Amino acid sequence: DTGVSQDPRHKITKRGQNVTFRCDPISEHNRLYWYRQTLGQGPEFLTYFQNEAQLEKSRLLSDRFSAERPKGSFSTLEIQRTEQGDSAMYLCASSPVEKASGMYEQYFGPGTRLTVT
């Protein structure tokens, strides 16, 4: 399978604990995105990498959230001191280099469902 993969698929944690998620994009995709999705809503953008550089961060990404993409390959999203409001599906997507015109398609992984108790 050469699609975007995410690990773990499900995570249950207690409030106050730290959690880390991993995303492996499609190889040769230099762009990687993190989104968060709550029940009944569309995905909300969190942050974006081009290679190893984090180029954009949403205001949704509080100080408790940090993302990395060392060496421009896989990425990790860490949430410190989790809160119940962090419960959501965390989606990762990747895309190839920009097209000459138009928007580029983003390929999404299956997501990591986080439940904070």
Question: Binding residues for other proteins, per CB under 8 A?
Answer: 4, 31, 33, 35, 40-45, 48, 50, 55-56, 58, 89, 91-93, 101-103, 105-111, 113
Distance CA(24)–CA(47), nearest Å, equals 15
Alpha carbon separation from 106 to 31, 35, 40 (Å, rounded): 9, 12, 21
Between 17 and 75, whose beta carbon lies closer to other proteins? 75
Q: Residue 90 Cβ, how far from other proteins at the closest point, in Å?
A: 10
Between 14 and 40, whose beta carbon lies closer to other proteins? 40
Other beta carbons less than 10 A from residue 23's beta carbon = 26
Q: Residue 16 Cβ, how far from other proteins at the closest point, in Å?
A: 27
